[in-house]
A and B are shown apart, each in its own frame.
Chain A
Amino acid sequence: MSTALTPRDGAGVRRGAGLPKWSLWAVAAGSVALAVGIGLVAGLTSHVQWGLIAALLFVLGTYGVAARAEGRRQAKDRVATALVWVAFLLAVVPLVSLVWTTVSRGVKVLDGYFLSHSMGLVADSEPGGGIYHAILGSLEQVGLATAIGAPIGVLTAIYLVEYGRGRLALAVTFFVDVMTGIPSIVAGLFILSLMLILDLQPFGFAGSLALAILMMPVVVRSTEEMLKLVPNELREASLALGIPKWRTILKVVLPTSLGGITTGVMLAVARIAGETAPVLLLVFGNPFINANPFEGAQASLPLYIYQQYAQSAGAGAAYDRAWAASLTLIAFVMILNLVARGIARWKAPKTGR
């Protein structure tokens, strides 16, 4: 970057000799070493403090080195870059640490047997058992919730963006906002009250209904944003060909925004896949395999994690199973996200010559 332009005359563009690439790495290594030194000498036990000292030293060091070698303006530029890097690391560290913890504790009992068997009669304190029943329950509950929530959400967004005018649209927008704020336990209680009125016992589909309520506003919001990104000129081009409005929406607007809509729906799915509270109230949990979401208590992954952890007193077989199930849940959500990205890329408007 610093060698790309050679100043034609002495004045004007001043790009000092420039710092070689390695110098910033050197500054980084130096600040980490110094931070470790300071931490040891001052007897700081928390590694978080070490990290923060290193980050601070890195930013200051970058400024000092760059100011000396390149001048003040470039030094400010370097500091801004350094700050972005520090922020990036701050954001990534918890993520990596979380994934690392889950993987290292989860792989202990995660194997083919674990994925293909239910808890059955295995007592919580004994090793063995698996999460097949919970995976099955999660897939069915989340699948049904998506089958209800995603179409309603997408259609609502289409109404709001393509047709909505006046009072009704305002009211719908308002209620979507309100729904966004509903805590998951409240959605669960709402369905529970219906179940009590109808005198029903817990079953999977009741959980799906609560999850659908939680999912809908998220889908509406993200779909709305995606539809608004479709240029009006495309709608007009289609209408001007004598194509009716509904076909314009179906064949021009939706395909153009399909990638984004899919991503939004997948993110909403990922969100509800981890919901515990409504499932606890409505689906109840079940150590046996129950493949029928419309009758009888079912298990689900987040609920399984909670119940195993609650039984484990912080160690033992149930504790290991809780971590293995957590790893499975993270993998499940991650795969969904990858699929969504794949679809988004595959369906993105084609550009390039």
Chain B
Amino acid sequence: MAKRIDVSGLTAFYGAHKAIEDISMTVEPRSVTAFIGPSGCGKSTFLRTLNRMHEVTPGGRVEGKVLLDDEDLYGSGVDPVSVRREVGMVFQRPNPFPTMSIFENVAAGLRLNGGYRKSELDDVVEKSLRGANLWNEVKDRLNKPGSGLSGGQQQRLCIARAIAVEPRVLLMDEPCSALDPISTLAIEDLIGELKERFTIVIVTHNMQQAARVSDRTAFFNLAGVGQPGRLVEIDDTERIFSNPSVQATEDYISGRFG
């Protein structure tokens, strides 16, 4: 089941460099939340703190709290590996495993984690590929390498791979920025379907995309050059795009800066 995310007072560092500061927000289950803001303001960094991928970067460090329903992801004794099973991620560039077939790519999460029954695997793979709207395109070549697909198909393969492990939350970091408009549309449609089952957070540079797919939108900005990124405001997408409460948001959306 989808879960709610509750962030409070979150600050993240790369070594001594403070990338984002004091971010608090709530993300409702079964909703789509879009992060917008100029490059370098820490959207990716913040996203990666939500499934503890931030600390994979050498020097990556986090202060503050992230509650998934009522469990603190950064609590002592919480295993980052188990956090990542609950909070899946799709990256900017499609990155299927090059040594694996389409089938193996989707099954990777289950296989490499163990604890599945062989008979389940076929079902899970089919269900995930259907869930990613890719089944009809690849059902005849499940044993072909995943890298042989087009960019848009590869990205949907990565989404199928992510949802195959049944996460509660799906994080997407600019999932369409390497794709053509048709593939982008396919993924946007998919996001609309996936939000029935998952809590979705998506970073995007495309205002129309944020307006089309999201229920809530968060605007991030830098307080100044060399300063850490901050959350400026988060509100219903409609309000952000029609009548934001902060001037900077309106300037950014209307293209006056950024």
Contacts and interface: CB of A to CB of B under 8 A. Distances in A.
Interface residues on B, range: 20 to 34
Q: Please indicate which of the listed interface residues B82, B88, B112 has the most CB atoms of chain A within 10 Å of its own CB.
A: B112
Contacts of A353: 148-149
B113 interface: yes
B112 A251 contact: yes
A26 to B, nearest CB: 46
B84 A240 contact: yes
B225 interface: no
Q: Please indicate which of the listed interface residues B84, B86, B97, B99 has the most CB atoms of chain A within 10 Å of its own CB.
A: B99
Interface string A223-235: 0000000010111
A350 interface: yes
B53 interface: yes
B105 to A, nearest CB: 10
A244 B113 CA distance: 8
Contact of A234 (B88, B98, B109): B98
B68 to A, nearest CB: 13
A239 B112 contact: no
A165 interface: yes
Nearest to B85: A242
B16 to A, nearest CB: 16
A242 to B, nearest CB: 3
Contacts of A239: 53, 56, 84
Interface in A220-262: 231, 233-244, 247-248, 251-252, 255-256, 258
A159 to B, nearest CB: 15
A99 to B, nearest CB: 36
A241 B95 contact: no
Nearest to A245: B81
Interface residues of A, number: 27
B61 interface: no
A247 B112 contact: yes
Interface string B92-113: 0101011100000000110011
A352 interface: yes
Nearest to A230: B98
A351 interface: yes
B161 interface: yes
Interface in A67-91: none
Contacts of A237: 91, 95, 97, 158, 161
B98 A233 contact: no
A233 B95 contact: yes
A342 interface: no
Nearest to B101: A350
B202 interface: no
B147 interface: yes
B98 A242 contact: no
Contacts of B99: 252, 255-256, 258, 347, 349-350
27 contacts: A165-B58, A233-B91, A234-B95, A234-B98, A235-B56, A236-B56, A237-B158, A238-B108, A238-B112, A239-B84, A240-B51, A240-B89, A240-B162, A241-B85, A241-B165, A242-B84, A242-B113, A242-B165, A243-B81, A243-B109, A244-B81, A247-B113, A251-B108, A349-B98, A350-B99, A351-B147, A352-B148
Interface of B: 51, 53, 56, 58, 81-86, 88-89, 91, 93, 95, 97-99, 108-109, 112-113, 145, 147-149, 158, 161-162, 165
Interface of A: 165, 231, 233-244, 247-248, 251-252, 255-256, 258, 347, 349-353
Given A236-B56, A350-B148, 18 more contacts: A234-B97, A240-B51, A240-B84, A240-B91, A241-B88, A241-B113, A242-B83, A242-B165, A243-B113, A248-B112, A252-B112, A347-B99, A349-B99, A349-B147, A350-B98, A350-B147, A352-B145, A353-B149
